Structure 1
Amino acid sequence: MKIHSRSFPLPRIKTGLAFRLSALFLLAAPLGACGDEPPAGPGPIPLDALRDELAQATCEQHVRCGLSPDKPTCDATQGDEQETLQLLTDAVLGLVTYDPTAGRACVEAVRAYACDTRATSLKSISDACAGMFVGTVREGEACLLAEECAGDSFCDTSMPTGGGVCTLGVCKKRPALVAVGGDCTTNPCVASAYCDQAAMPFTCKARKDNGDACDAVDQCKDGMRCDVGGNPQTCYLLQNRGGQCNPSLQQGACVRFDDYCHPTDRKCVQLPGDGTACTMDNECLQYAFCDNGTCKRKAIEGEACMDDGNCLGTLRCNEMVCTVRVSDEVCAF
């Protein structure tokens, strides 16, 4: 196995006019190879350490949640997210301001994520990371990401300009969420409601509680799921590991995405990993696949593949071999 430091290839920078600038010219300080650098410590994270800190926290989470078999494998197969590279670039260019204290809060939230499918759990990470990058782009000006927009505005890409990584939207005021009873044909409902599309206009309706009748997966309250194949169709409470569960629930009956509802015991247990028997539905932990009844680890760099889904992490299948993804380009506009 080839073990990489966090010095995955740096992105090329494109301007809005598609001229390429040197990645080192703009990004040497914040994005330099940092795999061999010591961690930033327990306090605020400086911008030049954020890339590595996020990578380390992400890999710890991925191992705990069954997305990677172990830390060295994750380090070798997990590249940078395009959005992260763009935001780090934006911080250098002044499109966002970076808060080192909020950076630490975000990293620790990523590290502590409990493999939980509930919206409240995912929102807790989003909230923890919300103050890390604060946008400076005003309403009506060009943007790539929502984080670039100042205040409570978002990046509207419905009528894009430019192309490629420099496909730009416009910062616009974020529309208010629609309350129960309101029209959700255009705008989304508040978290406690779902959009009933049975008739026009679409209408926000209160989410159903445990035991209530339902006819769509998204109609139940957070932490519940509709048994759309049941008779009657009813909202069921998702269960923690070891809890009694309903194996007929589509999209899973367990709180954790690395668990499944054992069809015989009817309890939430961890999905099988490398070298163990697959579930009856041929499922395994996400770092593995089912091969003739046995879970096998997905391919690492240099191993054979048929498509990207055969490779671990952000590796790509190139000419039937898993290879390190060349870092995505980023845009300067």
Structure 2
Amino acid sequence: MIRQTVFALAVSLTACFHGGSNDYNVDNYWNELGVTHCQVMRECCTSAEYNDWWTTSDGNTVDCVNSHQAPFNAAQIRDAINGGTIVFDEDRARACIDALAFQECGDFQQAYRFRETYCANPLIGTARDGDSCLVDEECEGELCGEDGKCGTRIPEGAPCFVGVDECHAPFRCNNAEGGETFTCSLGLAAGATCANDDQCADGWCKADAVSGTDSCLRACDGV
């Protein structure tokens, strides 16, 4: 079911910035993204799922909105926008908010790695492969390598090196199916036996209440 309350929230947020392109910036977008993501999460998760997701192993509670607003490298992204190596596309940004607000719970993914995979990224890099860079967002291929040069992220199914974040989002490098070959993939589907959260497509590896066996869980799907 489409959540009309979430869409109404997104519309009210974006309406505040209709004064023109100069009035709507990347910080406005990040703020809306955080608020909308967490509202959708509350609508699609059960209370137990929501609380479990935002409670750390030591019992502390993490704030959802703060976690999904400005990314850790926000200052560098702002500098790159001001310097012209990243173009912030306001229309794409608004489309991202709308796409998130309108997502069916069955399609919604709460994990951060799915951020902006449901829309065209409003942060458009202008640096080509081999050009110097500081952050991924500067690069057309969305990857700033450890050598400070732009490259292209690895697509789904292609070989990768574990521990190196080079897969195209939302994929990550793992060998969830076993064996020695690591490839970019979503991970194990719900119900599969797992050893940790990273192996699971939905980011949750939980002990079964009956068997006690750890298995991947699909949560926050509106059920």
Which TM-score applies when normalising by structure 1?
A: 0.38
Matches within 5 A, 1:177-326: 177-178=156-157, 184=160, 195=175, 198-199=179-180, 202=181, 218=187, 220=188, 223-228=189-194, 247=209, 248=212, 250=214, 253-256=217-220
1:126 alignment partner, SS class: coil
Asked if the contact 2:32–2:69 (Cα under 8 Å) also holds between the matched residues in 1, the reply is: no
- Could you tell me how far 1:103 is from its partner in structure 2? 1.3
Q: Percent identity?
A: 15
Confirm or deny: 8 A CA contact 2:88 2:123 kept in the other structure. yes
Change in 2 beyond 3 A, CA 1:81/1:178: closer
2-structure distance, mates of 1:153, 1:40: 28
Q: Deviations over 1:169-209 (max 9, x none)?
A: 21124445545xxx555786996x9635534xx265999xx
Q: Provide the residue aligned with 1:149 in structure 2.
A: 139
- Structure with greater helix share of residues: 2
Match of 1:58 in 2: 34
Q: Which amino acid aligns with 2:37?
A: Q
User: Residues 230-276 of structure 1, C-alpha deviation per residue, up to 9 Å, x if partnerless?
Assistant: xxxxxxxx9xxxxxxx544636633218x9xxxxxxxx6xxxxxxxx
Distance 1:95 1:184 in 2: 27
Taking a change above 3 Å as real, the CA distance of residues 62 and 206 of structure 1, as seen in their structure-2 partners, is: closer
Aligned to 1:305: none
Change (3 A) 1:75 1:124: closer
Contact 2:96 2:116 in 1 (8 A): yes
In the alignment, which of 21, 27, 30 is matched to residue 46 of structure 1? 21
Distance 1:118 1:133 in 2: 21
- C-alpha distance 55-198 of structure 1, shift in aligned 2 (>3 A): same
1:101 partner SS? helix
Aligned residues: 172
| Alignment match, 2:83 | 93
Q: Would you say the 8 A contact 2:192–2:216 is kept in 1? A: no
- CA gap of 1:197–1:47, structure 2 versus 1, over 3 A, is farther
Shift of 1:123: 4.4
TM-score by length of 2: 0.52
Consecutive unaligned residues of structure 2, counting only runs of 5 or more, are: 1-13, 43-49, 55-62, 196-201, 203-207
Partner Cα separation in structure 1 for residue 108 and residue 151 of structure 2:
32
Quick one: which amino acid aligns to residue 24 of structure 2?
A
Q: In 1, distance between residues paired with 2:192 and 2:131?
A: 42
